[in-house]
Amino acid sequence: MTRMPNLFIVGAPKSGTTSLYEWLRGHPEVFMSRFKEPCYFARDLAWETSGYYLRYGIDRQRYLALFDEAGTARRLGEASTRYLFSRDAPGLIKAETVDPRIVVMLRNPVDMAASLHAHKVASGTEDLTSFAEALSAEADRGQGRRIPRNSNPRLSTYRDRARFAEQLGPWLEAFGRGRVHVIILEQLVRNPAAGFRDLLEFLEVDSTYQPESFDAHNPAHGGRSGLLGAVARSRAVQFAVWRLLPLALGQVRTLTLTRRLVQSPLLRKRGDKPVVSPELRRRLEAELAPDVARLSDLLGQDLARIWFGRPDPVRAQLQVARE
């Protein structure tokens, strides 16, 4: 009988989750689903309000099929970066799985938002190619206007996706601090071996294991072939292909065919790192400062210093207020 997973990398997007997913795949006590981002528990973030996942996406049978070759692995894991932003995911995972471990990866929220915007432009789920213009459209998008094609309205507001403290709170409430492990990408990059060892200890698996390399996976990509590339990279197409291929083909063969379509070198190329103007960066840092202060308080470290290069005055004020 196939087991439900008990390890979830829940986000944030564009924060190193693909690298972590790949590093874990080689661990002898960990089985990671071969299809990243199944998003099974993010049922409130379907692609369309008409019920994308119910119509085209992953049902329970196919979700469990992602783990049918796990054998006796201690940890069965998956990575879906929508979970962090999902209102449904914490409760559903708590209700439907047994003693799960939650892993959260975070990075500079301004860089994350800019990278997410670039990713959505490349995948055809963002109409405004300028990050600044997309930010300016958020007021309208909050009212249901100017929503990009093929995108859920909630997934088109980059400031909301960058408010990590708001998103982390429900996970801590649902699972407790002992079951939630937060990794700061900038710290992991400086010492990946130590950060990965800490994660393995949290997962209660052999912490002496190391991957062959700590190279980054899934670097920025831009669209090479216009509409064709956008269509092929679309999650709608990925899941449609996956559903059309019968389970009788076998999990590995089905996922291999899907991945070959999406990762074809004809459809992807290395993209430039998104550039945020100094003025826009300062404005976003100021807007996000209260949330960063709350997150710093939750995690017990000054993230404004790590991310913005300066001490966090808001956190200092919060500390004074409690004294």
Give φ, ψ of 149 to 5 degrees.
-65, 150
What value does the mean pLDDT take over residues 195-213?
Answer: 97
The confidence score (pLDDT) of residue 241 equals 54
pLDDT in tens, 253-285: 555 454 444 444 444 444 567 889 999 999 999
Q: Which of 17-26, 60-69, 146-155, 289-298 has the lowest mean pLDDT?
A: 146-155
- Does residue 58 register a pLDDT over 80? no
CA pair distance 229, 263, nearest whole angstrom: 10
The confidence score (pLDDT) of residue 318 equals 52
- Kindly list the distances between the CA atom of residue 202 and the CA atoms of 33, 56, 177, 179, 313, in Å, as whole numbers in the listed order: 20, 35, 11, 8, 32
The confidence score (pLDDT) of residue 216 equals 76
What value does the mean pLDDT take over residues 2-18?
Answer: 96
Single-letter amino acid, residue 40? Y
Q: Which residue has the higher pLDDT, 40 or 242?
A: 40
Give the count of alpha carbons within 13 A of 95, CB side only: 6
- Does residue 44 register a pLDDT over 60? yes
Please answer whether residues 88 and 76 qualify as being in contact, where contact means their C-beta atoms are separated by less than 8 angstroms. Answer: no
Q: Is the pTM of this model over 0.95?
A: no
Q: Is residue 106 helix, strand or coil?
A: strand
Using N-to-C axis directions, what is the helix angle for 164-175 and 89-96, rounded to 10°? 20
Q: Residues in the chain, how many?
A: 323
The confidence score (pLDDT) of residue 110 equals 98
Domains of the chain and any CATH numbers? 7-276 (3.40.50.300), 278-323 (no CATH)
Q: Which of 210-214, 215-219, 279-283 has the lowest mean pLDDT?
A: 215-219
| Beta-bridge partners for 269 | 222
What value does the mean pLDDT take over residues 295-307?
Answer: 97
Please answer whether residues 145 and 128 qualify as being in contact, where contact means their C-beta atoms are separated by less than 8 angstroms. Answer: no
Confidence category of residue 33, pLDDT binned at 50, 70, 90: very high
Residue closest to 13 by CA, chosen among 133, 102, 116:
116
What value does the mean pLDDT take over residues 89-111?
Answer: 98
Q: How many CB atoms lie within 10 A of CB 2?
A: 13
Instruction: Give the helix/strand (H/E) hosting 273.
Output: none
Which residue has 């990075």 as its token pair? 107
The confidence score (pLDDT) of residue 315 equals 52
pLDDT in tens, 115-163: 999 999 998 889 999 999 999 999 999 888 999 987 888 899 999 999 9
CA pair distance 247, 260, nearest whole angstrom: 18
Q: Is residue 183 helix, strand or coil?
A: strand
Phi/psi region, residue 81 (left: phi>0; alpha: psi -120 to 50; beta: rest), is alpha
Using N-to-C axis directions, what is the helix angle for 109-123 and 226-233, rounded to 10°? 110
Mean pLDDT of the chain: 84
Q: Which of 96-100, 204-208, 226-230, 311-315 has the lowest mean pLDDT?
A: 226-230
Contacts of 211 (CB under 8 A, 6+ apart): 22, 23, 26, 196
The confidence score (pLDDT) of residue 9 equals 99
